[in-house]
Structure 1
Amino acid sequence: MIKIYHNPRCSKSREGLQLLQESGKDFQIVKYLDIPMKKEEIKKVLELLEISAEELVRKNEKVWKENYKGKELSEDEIISAMQEHPKLIERPIVVKDKKAVIGRPPEKIKDLI
């Protein structure tokens, strides 16, 4: 099953969702701002993306700039920040089987599906 971590207010996320809809494949939408991801789920996504927690952070978000920017943070502290402030998570993320991509640009999703 394909899963998209989606923010309806984000244009790139909407584009990614449209690609999935056009593919005709079954998928699940996870509105991670409404139901924040648990730490273990974030860790699993990072593992599938093969990136560090910091690479998944939207560093231009106000909450990052005000609370975390310039600080020495451990991987676990960054994951906790993303769990507490889901807006910090880059989007959209599409997961299929044992692979995942950040849909920026959205065409990356086509390679996965």
Structure 2
Amino acid sequence: MITILHNNRCSKSREGLCFIEALNQPFEIINYLDKVPTYSELESIIKKLNIKPIELVRIKEKDWTENFKGKNLSDKEIIEAMINFPKLIERPIVINGNKAVIARPTEKINDIL
């Protein structure tokens, strides 16, 4: 089943959701600001994305610039920062089985179908 980590206030996330809805396949929406991923869930998502944790961080976000910018953080500390400040998580993330993409642009979703 396809899963989207979604923030309804984000236009790119809404575009990703529309793309998934048009597939006419079952899917799950996780509003990650309300249901923040656990450490192990976020670690698993990062592995599926095949990226380093810092690549999932919205580094221009106020929470990052005020609390973490310029600090030498470990991968574990970066993941913990995203859990404590979920707005830092790049979006939307679309997961299909063992594959995932940050759907920017939206067409990247095709890479995991």
TM class by shorter chain equals: over 0.9
Cα deviation for residue 87 of structure 1 reads 0.2
Q: Size of the alignment, in residue pairs?
A: 113
Q: TM-score, normalised by structure 1?
A: 0.98
CA displacement 1:21-55 (0-9 Å, x = unmatched): 00001000000001111000000000000000000
Two-structure CA RMSD over aligned residues (Å)? 0.6
Q: TM-score, normalised by structure 2?
A: 0.98
Cα deviation for residue 17 of structure 1 reads 0.2
SS at match of 1:109: helix
Match of 2:81 in 1: 81
Listed as ranges, the gaps of 5+ residues in structure 2 are none
Match of 2:38 in 1: 38
Runs of at least 4 residues off by over 4 Å: none
Task: Please state if 1:55 is matched with 2:55.
Answer: yes
**Amino-acid identity (%):** 53
The separation in 1 between residues aligned to 2:20 and 2:10, in whole angstroms, is 16
Match of 2:22 in 1: 22
Contact 1:53/1:75 (<8 A) preserved? yes
The separation in 2 between residues aligned to 1:110 and 1:55, in whole angstroms, is 20
Listed as ranges, the gaps of 5+ residues in structure 1 are none
Contact 1:92/1:104 (<8 A) preserved? yes
Structure 1 residue identity aligned to 2:3: K
The separation in 1 between residues aligned to 2:53 and 2:111, in whole angstroms, is 23
The separation in 1 between residues aligned to 2:10 and 2:79, in whole angstroms, is 21
The separation in 2 between residues aligned to 1:80 and 1:87, in whole angstroms, is 13
